[in-house]
Amino acid sequence: MKKTTLLYEGKAKKVYLTEDEGLVIQEFKDDATAFNNKKKGSIAEKGVVNNAISCKLFTLLEEHGIPTHLVEKLSDRDMLCRYLEIIKVEVVVRNIAAGSLVKRYGFSEGTVLTEPIVEFYLKDDDLDDPLMNDAHAVALGVATREELAVLKSRAEAINLVLKAFFAERKLKLVDFKLEFGRNNGTILLGDEISPDTCRFWDLDTNEKLDKDRFRFDLGGVEDAYSEVQRRVLGA
């Protein structure tokens, strides 16, 4: 399958149309941004690593009956996907307190939550992706109540599969962000699942192995991403 026109360029990926109108190609870049574009940089080979990790995890989810946009991994940086009409909701699932949960509610970082928390954020960079509830999402017209219920239950099911998978690989799945889209009347998981969109801590040492190393200049960013790749792919 060949790329035709560039449909969209985001912070970490480009999306191309293809000769088949139902399919797009996601190309993973090395560019990295944080704090809604205020911090910019690049992480060597990140695109290759995130494509490999995402393809593996989307395949795993499909094996567990969770529908995704993945068709196949085309090359190092390219993922062939079903075309989605992206739902403008970022779904965050949290198992352990970190990041904005700590800032907003005063949890101590590392507190294990009694049950996972699913949050919705409006996908809108100009507004800094504000946290929203179901009523906001419905009022804004970004999703119906029925769709939001599907997003929540899908996110919970994905969390169960991923938590178990990462635990076997000695990683704690602290939190992560998902995006979904509409395709022929169904909702599919889209975007990516990678150290850019998840927090992973080593099970024994709590060492951070994700984008927080870039966000907070902790060093060893590339090594952390490769370590996650190694554990995920078992290579």
Q: Which residues bind ligand UDP (CB under 6 A)?
A: 90, 92, 98-101, 129, 175-177, 197-199, 211
Measured from the CB atom, is 27 or 191 closer to ligand UDP?
191
What is the crossing angle of helices 46-63 and 145-168, to 10°?
Answer: 110
CB-nearer residue toward ligand UDP: 14 or 211: 211
Q: Give me the least distance between CB of 129 and ligand UDP, in Å please.
A: 5
The rounded distance, in Å, linking the Cα atoms of 98 and 77 is 30
In the complex, minimum distance from the CB of residue 69 to ligand UDP, in angstroms, rounded to a whole number: 17
C-beta closer to ligand UDP: residue 37 or 75: 37
What is the smallest separation between the CB atom of 176 and ligand UDP, expressed in angstroms? 5
Q: C-beta of 19: minimal distance to ligand UDP in Å? A: 31
Q: Looking at beta carbons only, is 76 or 109 nearer to ligand UDP?
A: 109
Q: Which residues face 112 on adjacent strands?
A: 96
In single-letter form, the type of residue at position 176 comes to F
φ/ψ of residue 20, rounded to 5: -100, 120
Please tell me the distance from the alpha carbon of residue 156 to that of residue 144, in angstroms, as a whole number.
19
Q: What residue number has its CB nearest to ligand UDP?
A: 99
Helix (H) or strand (E) holding 73: strand 70-73
Distances (CA, A) of 156 to 26, 83, 95, 173, 176: 25, 24, 11, 13, 11
Nearer to ligand UDP, 72 or 218 (CB): 218
Closest contact distance (angstroms) between CB of 27 and ligand UDP is 18
